Amino acid sequence: MLTIIEHLKNRYLGQKAQGMVEYALILAFVVAVAGYLSTTGEVGVAIQGVMDKVTTALGGTVKHS
């Protein structure tokens, strides 16, 4: 009986960890793509414009480097 429980425990805990690693890799990929798009091309300009509007609406000053 204990061997069956150990087998099931190892099987399901291993799959759960694998799923978490897969989600982490997908999240890292999405963040990398979003970071790339936000710094290049028209998407970056659009995001910068939105951020400037938000900063101004909150009473801050817009500083571009």
Range of the domain at 49: 23-55
Question: Cα dihedral sign for 40, 42, 48, 50?
Answer: negative
pLDDT tens profile 1-32 = 678 777 777 776 666 667 778 888 999 999 98
What tens digit of pLDDT does each residue of 31-41 get?
Answer: 988 888 777 77
Distance CA 11, CA 48 (A): 47
Domain count, the chain: 1
- The stretch 31-60 carries a mean pLDDT of 82
Higher pLDDT, 8 or 53: 53
Q: How far apart are CA 15 and CA 9, in angstroms?
A: 10
User: Where is pLDDT greater, at 45 or 29?
Assistant: 29
Q: For residue 18, is it within any domain?
A: no
Q: Could you tell me if residue 47 is inside a domain?
A: yes
User: Is 7 among the domain residues?
Assistant: no
Q: Do 50 and 58 contact (CB within 8 A), yes or no? A: no
